[in-house]
């Protein structure tokens, strides 16, 4: 059964742009290798954290929306925990209405870019 998910993860702020892109590609590869279809990716950039995490007060945020089997989520979460560049991560299964809202938000965002 394929479900729609979204993951937001925070990377340490000491990464260069190249290291940040490599980290994002690594997690996208983990998803694709486990049969996921990536729908959307958004780099939210460097943001201040609400509270310090590992003595860091800011981090690079990244959002990835994808469709996958539930087994792929476990492998993704293991990859997040093993990577020292990721200081926090969250994977959420989107319900029907959340998926519709995310699609509307993507379409609105894409129209603004054009």
Residue pLDDT, tens place only, 46-69: 999 999 999 999 999 999 999 999
Q: What is the pLDDT of residues 15-26, one digit of tens each?
A: 999 999 999 999
Report CA 97 to chain centroid distance, whole Å.
20
Q: How far apart are CA 81 and CA 70, in angstroms?
A: 18
Fold designation for 3-113: Alpha-Beta Plaits (3.30.70)
Q: What is the pLDDT of residues 67-107, one digit of tens each?
A: 999 999 999 999 999 999 999 999 999 888 888 888 888 78
Residue 49 is predicted with a pLDDT of 94
Q: How far apart are CA 79 and CA 75, in angstroms?
A: 6
Q: How far apart are CA 28 and CA 26, in angstroms?
A: 6
Residue 2 is predicted with a pLDDT of 87
First CA to last CA across the chain, in angstroms?
Answer: 35
């Amino acid at each position: 059964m394929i479900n729609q998910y979204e993951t937001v993860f925070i990377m340490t702020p000491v990464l260069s742009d190249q290291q940040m892109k490599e980290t994002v590609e690594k997690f996208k590869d983990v998803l694709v290798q486990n049969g996921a279809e990536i729908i959307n990716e958004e780099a939210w950039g460097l943001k201040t954290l609400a509270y310090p995490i590992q003595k860091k007060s800011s981090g690079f945020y990244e959002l990835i929306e994808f469709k996958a089997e539930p087994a792929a989520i476990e492998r993704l979460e293991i990859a997040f925990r093993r990577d020292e560049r990721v200081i926090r991560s969250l994977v959420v299964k989107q319900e029907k209405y959340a998926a519709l809202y995310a699609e509307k938000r993507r379409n609105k965002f894409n129209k603004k870019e054009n």
